[in-house]
A and B are shown apart, each in its own frame.
Chain A
Amino acid sequence: MKRYLLAATLVALMTGPGFAEGPQDRATGGLGVVIERASGSVLIVDRLARAQLARVEGLGDLSHASINFSPDERYAYVFGRDGGLTKVDLVTRTIAARVMQAGNSIGGAISDDGRLVAVSNYEPGGIRIFDADTLAMVADIPTGSKTIGLVELPGRRFAWALWDKGEAWMADLSGAEPIVTRLGETGANPYDAILTGDGRHFVVGLFGEKGVTLFDMWDKAPAPVRFLSDYGKTGEDLPVYKMPHLQGWGFTEGQFALPAVGRHQVLWVDRNSLQQVAATEVHGQPVFVIAQPGSPYVWVNFATPLNDTVQVIDSRSHAVVQTLTPGAAVLHMEFAPRGSEVWISLRDDNRVAVYDTRSLQPITSLPAESPSGIFFTARAHRTGL
């Protein structure tokens, strides 16, 4: 009891003014976490109340941070740029565990059973895998390259790609020892990868050459299949001021919707034939192309200096149906799990804007310091995030 009181007091002190007081019995299914990239902190938010609950500090360099949730939606694993792996407890609103596991990191993943957390590292290049409870390291897989596009596959498996070597790899941790397999060549400088929600296609985007490479993970021996290898062959490429992301990449109407690299276009590819079916001219270099759940729409944000704008595209007509200017430096968009609203981080406005997806009108906004990634706990139950 004494211990509980102490913890409660600490929580009360940490939540501080400006935040709703901390009911410990709040369920986590409506919660989310917003990265505050410049201050090394995260905000715990209540999506349903559209309110911030607490700020948790001391997470290091979050310039490229992402989050995975435990299956019970209690813990957020925050992957920081500086190699920090932090386990944040959304109930007590405190840091439950933290390790500096590498010098430089880019992202992470959590196994389907929630027991293993994997981190993708630049320095030293490789994948490290940790016990989700204790953050003790259980496997170290050096790759001799910066690793990107780490995803979790069903059955305690992970896949990733190598920026420097142009290869894709997989690790199977279902047995006593990890089994590491080379999947094949991706093409030059893969910049990100994603797994489709059905667990079938591991899709790797290329920066060093034109194209996208796909592996069918339902196959016993997945092999690389290249597509979109000739987009934008005519004319000079435009400078890419921010690397596109494939996390949250839109799949809709039987199509992949993906950012062209060096083109102000979203490219549409038929998922069965892997043929390009359309290209939508957009406002700038796309960064995220994200499908609005329960709708035919994808939402796109853009690289600096054109990053005050968000466009909505109809995947049936491939036409831009709305152009919004939510504010300065749109970095990320996160939809309510059924798509009714979208939260948009506005880094240079120091706020998160909430839009109704039917009226396309702003509902409210929440203060946040240089917000970047927004992650709702419903992600815990989705493959391919």
Chain B
Amino acid sequence: MPRGQAIALICAIALLVPAAARAEIAPARVAKLENMVLQDCGSCHGLTMKGGLGRPLTAAALSQAGAEGLAGIILDGIPGTAMPPWRPLLSEEEAIWIAEYLLKDRQR
């Protein structure tokens, strides 16, 4: 996909996740989400998030991205690539949580 189109898609998707979607997530669910990011996202993006079949997801690699745009990609995937839509498994709040988690530099 040309870069321009990709950015347009990301922006379009970003509109679908309102900022109001940020809500508290129960600690037990947070632990599950953390495990999911490490293990399930890690299957394609690497356990250290340095990439694999999927792109790197380190905070540095994502420095140009916003949480809402990332959450949109997590929820709806990127058509024509191996990135699937996670909407059936995640709420919008949880996608935002994951996006913000990835954007934090966790010194991995």
* A contact residues vs B (CB 8 Å cutoff): 37-38, 61-64, 81-82, 103-104, 106, 122-123, 146, 163, 189, 191, 207, 239-243, 304-305, 329, 347-348, 370
Contacts and interface: CB of A to CB of B under 8 A. Distances in A.
Interface stretch (B2-10, B17-25, B77-85, B94-102): B77-85
A82 B35 CA distance: 20
A157 to B, nearest CB: 25
Given A82-B48, A189-B82, 4 more contacts: A37-B47, A38-B39, A62-B47, A240-B82
A382 to B, nearest CB: 26
A230 B37 CA distance: 34
B27 interface: no
Interface of B: 35-36, 38-40, 42-44, 46-48, 50-53, 77, 82, 84-86, 88-89
A287 to B, nearest CB: 10
Contacts of A191: 53, 82
A163 B43 contact: no
Contact of A63 (B35, B42, B82): B42
Contact of B52 (A104, A207, A239, A242): A104
Contact of B35 (A61, A64, A242, A348): A348
A-B pairs, 6 with minimum CB distance: A239-B84, A63-B47, A63-B42, A61-B48, A304-B40, A61-B47
B46 A61 contact: yes
Contacts of A38: 38-39, 47
A61 B43 contact: no
A207 B82 contact: yes
Contacts of A146: 53
Given A242-B40, A305-B89, A370-B39, A61 B50 contact: yes
Contact of A82 (B44, B50, B53, B85): B50
B52 A106 contact: yes
Contacts of B43: 63-64, 242-243
